[in-house]
Structure 1
Amino acid sequence: MPPSLKPVTYKTFGLLTLVSLFSYSTQANCKYGYFGDTCGFKCHCDGGDSHCTEGNCTKGCDHKYIGPLCQYRAFPPIEEPSTRWMMDGNPNTCNNGNRHLVAVPTFVTRVTYMRVTFRKPDRINKTEISMYHVANGTDIVMTCSRRFTRQVDEAGKVYDVPCYTARPTHSITFDGEGALHLCEILISPGRNIAPFQTVFKFVGDKSQRLNAALDGLIYQDRLSLQDCAYTTQRKYQLTYPAKNEVNMILVFNSPETDSPLIKFRVELESRRNNEFYIFNKVDNSYSAFFIIIPDLNPGDIKKLDIRKPIGGSSFFLCEVETLGEQYCCTQNFLLGSCIENTTDNLPACHKRENTPCKAGFIGDFCEDPCPRGYHGHLCKSKCDDHCHEHKCDPVTGDCIECNPGYHGSKCLKRCPSGFYGSGCSKECSIHCKTNKHFTRECDYVTGHCLNGCLNGRIGENCQYDKCSDHCKGGNKQCDGRFGTCLSGCEPGYIGLECYSECPKGTYGDECLQECRQTCDNGECDNINGNCTKGCIAGFQGAGLCDTACEQGTYGKGCKEECSPNCIGGKCDIVTGKCFQCDIVTGKCFRECSVGYKPPLCNEECDRPYFGTNCAQRCSSSCQGGLCHPFTGVCNLCKPGAYGSRCHKECPQGKYGVGCLMNCADNCQGQTSCEADTGTCTKCPPGRRGPSCNDECNFGKYGPGCNHFCSEYCHKGVCNKVDGSCTEGCVGNYKPPACLSK
């Protein structure tokens, strides 16, 4: 077992073995409130950082976090009248006699962990949990592996259940005798893996404190903007070197008065076929934070860009969280810098240390080889950091493969001059300039030419003979070292160097336009949007596919004729099936399935509609007018609203997206603020401003600072709250208010 895990007790439920309490040991000298080998983990303990000991929360987790070491950010399900007790935060309000329960997650993402609380102990094994993903109107069932279910409390009423679903989860069901005693549910899309990534700093960049956006503190927790990141490049970029799964992105803005993000763009690049996901905010509204759910499957992120539009200015950024999981690492336990990517996407079990096994094996019967990242006797030795994905022979510790830039059995030797990459198998480019010894030099990991390029070539590896032809502007200007197009890309291209065509299904300037739904296979020309593979069945029109088949024809290219036996010669333009019509009026009875729009009934409802024949409109409180085409459940609520269809205003004391933000402490009673902006609706006497942070101006006091100090207060000074003259009275007037003699 790796030495960093210290199990305290084990508890067994039939075939289910779980760790009921553990802590994370670290030798790093971390600052207060942080822990881990690299100090990348932020404590999230109930009662604050003083209750965090090496990652173990002595009083349990903060209410927004669950899972091992309280690292998984969690959200309650959507509130419904029949299941309001699931999310009220009160463990004493529970299910009342229903053996079948349905919970709808607030956000449709993959699920990593759930926390379930029961009225009675030991009910987890009497509860069947199923997850559902909806595709084309069909429910796909997913199950949670219960192998690593962890008991959280001593009474056996609270459990953390790891799930790691392969698809986004639309609903969760709880069945059986255990469901009768269910009291509370929290659902997590993952833990924040952003602190373990690399912040990219551009050449000549004068940005400051770039890592401050990865310290786990949002602006309400900060003393000043000096604790936020500040970029002068209109861009903030993270690179993700290890395999990961990102299910949700949280971007915490700076205060509205301090250069926040208003109009901006988030661009994600996936490792899978270099897919891109683009989120654009184009309106002028301010929000304290944004929730982005990337439409990537799997969500293995290579790079994340947050940028202002071309011509935009510098900005402050207080925090970026990317919620999910990161795989392939040096630490293999229930929570580390990342987790072991086993066949069921869960960490491997850890056995007792006193088992007399040969080097390279552990387990009660010495049946298990060392988990990834460890080798030797009792698997106590770590594979070298330069072993690729930290994989090494469990007996000898020899690396299976070296990270780029290293070679040798243990990958301890750096590549010799002139070579780079995995196993030092690649030679530096012939276009790299030589050093004084006439040897071509390049970075031993990436191959970037260290002394520049020969013959006017450009790019970090001197791989381009000129700027991309797709750089915007007549002179095709780009950065002479990196090849980055200075004015962006021409329509139809994307990426810093503008060599990549728009992702499938998009086209045009910055790939912001979507191909027409009538294009076959959803593909179109990356520049002008013309359908490159023709039209889907039922449509025609050169390039545009914008014309439905004429009456009496159907199918691909509208080349088929309806049966002469169809009434009026009318048939479905896609399938050719005859319409069912009233023999007198000719009115068709045809009705589409829920979530699909007429006349073809083969496309989901356009925003903002849903339901049968797309006749119902999504709630005006749905963010961007987006809701589920079958159920009308909003993808995300506008700030200030919550509920399955965003039909409810935030409860007192809460505001913002998902009602996750607390009203400012200075709002009177800490309960009165605008549900969308957080502006205090009422300040206590003596205070003013949107967050009631400012005292009354000189000479004023009381509620709303609407009262004037007595003219007989000495020097005009009075108490900001009650108006009493703090420096006494003049002219024989009597204290405390100096209003009478």
Structure 2
Amino acid sequence: MYAVVLLVCCSWLALLCPSAQAYENLALRKRAWQSSTLMSFTADLAVDGRYTDLAKRGGQCAMSYRGRTAEWRVDLGGVKNIHHVFIQYMTGNRVMDENNYFIGTFLGFSVYISNTTDKQDGVLCFRDTNYTRATIPNPVNITCPYHGRYVIYYNNRTHRPFPEGYSNLWNFLCEVEVYGCDVYTYGVDCKRCGNCSGGVQCDHVTGTCPNGCEPGMYGDECDRECSNNTYGVECKELCSNCSNGEPCHHVDGSCPSGCNAGAYGKTCKESCGKCRNGEPCNDVDGSCRYGCDVGVYGKTCDEACQPGRYGFNCATPCGPNCQGCNRFTGVCEFGCLLEWTGTFCEERKCSNNTYGVECKELCGHCSNGEPCQHLDGSCLSGCNAGAYGVTCKESCGNCSNGDPCNDVDGSCPNGCDVGVYGKTCDEACQPDRYGLNCAKPCGPNCQGCNRFTGVCEFGCLPGWKGIFCEERKCGNNTYGVECEEFCGDCSNGELCHHVDGSCPSGCNAGSYGVTCKESCGNCSNGEPCHHVDGSCPSGCNAGAYGVTCKESCGNCSKGEPCNDVDGSCRYGCDIGVYGKTCDEACQPGRYGINCAILCGPNCQGCNRFTGVCEFGCLPGWTGPSCEKRSKYMFRLRLSY
């Protein structure tokens, strides 16, 4: 809640006091609006400057219909610097005491200042929470030191019970006057604010700036320019080297007539670099008209030469053999590169076909015996035949037809000789390749061939022989490693494959598989099985089942044959067996068809076919199925 000061003028004389009337009535004849209008008593009647007749039908007051809320506002036409708001409420031209009818409709009112037509977007200047019928003043002056475009009067009767003295809500505004000035003014005579920092509004009463002054200004009201050769924020910056001692600009410190010799820049605070022949620099950007003196470079001639350069504008490079020269003279003051000497490192040091550090490296095979370069050993005219590389120290590989290799990269112009490959023809063939450029593969039956001739010097794969493993080896109906495996039952007595034993035309009837070594099962009506997987095309003979009819049926009920696919029994199992294919003996404690019957409870273990307790009865029991009590045990109990 914003703190406000409520100034109540208890008489018309108070309203005419000079401090109040010095401000302009910003609301006079401005556009007004109210939430409802009673008859012809429109909102603009409250800003027409007339309020001599305060009666309902006096024609000088704005009125609204009765309701739960009442709102009225005036548009000041722009954002204004408001000082206070004056409100004259209707009295009916009667004494304004606690018995006046209109007081009850006035109680509880609020005043807002906003930049939009919505009061919630603005600030609350005043809200009546304490007045009674006996204490509320009329007219009333409300101090409201805010900026805004809309002044909004609001009242409501929305939350019962209402305080004592409140009546039904009507809006009876006879005059609303808004006193103040345009923005960026202050005081009763609306003086213009000074140059406040950030362009903010000065204090509306005193004119002081809340955040200080704009650069170049000072004083309580920020209305005085910097003086005494100062400028900038709070006049704390000192003017610099302006031409002929002229004062600088009070805001940015710039010199109106330029700088004294030796200085440059907007504020003449920058010192010139070293211009050629001692010339002064340009007083705007510090550039040197004729370039830089020795040892410096750059736009303003204030940067020392980078390593490796010297002289005017640092334009001359140090000698190529210099470790680092003096930026003014070019003398190699940090020494020479290896094998060089002299003031500028211009004299060569190595000889006797040597190069490098302390001339310890020997030159390579340079063309025609020429000496190599004394620093890096490079051969300026290339290499002798058989050598390659920068220093001609690399030996050529085995080029085709004995050709010399390229003396730069060692490549062979017509490819490699037999047994080698690679960019420089110095790599032995990989296993399983031989010949020129290693381009030929070894024979397919070879365990590994000679890289020059292709001869299978590491032997042949099973079933092959010969220099190149090109001859078939096995005979006498054999195959495989060392021809130790015998061929199977191949069709029409054909020979099997000498390596894997497969039959090229399939198997004779009664055999199957890749090598025709598997015998057919119990196929229906003696039909031959399939030569690859051994399956029976028309199923199995009775008593056999499975894809190859090699499985024997179990004991099906009543001697029925089993299913020839999965061996299952259509009517279940015979006595003494159970399971999917009726080939599992009853578990202990069970017997009969499908092993479905439990042995007698007094049995030590029954026969799985008959149920007879062939392993005896529990004590006290007798009979084939241990179903009878023992007479001996009965008599024994009686004796007790």
Question: TM-score, normalised on structure 1?
Answer: 0.17
Larger Rg: 2
Question: TM-score, normalised on structure 2?
Answer: 0.20
Larger RCO (alpha carbons 8 Å, 6+ apart): 1
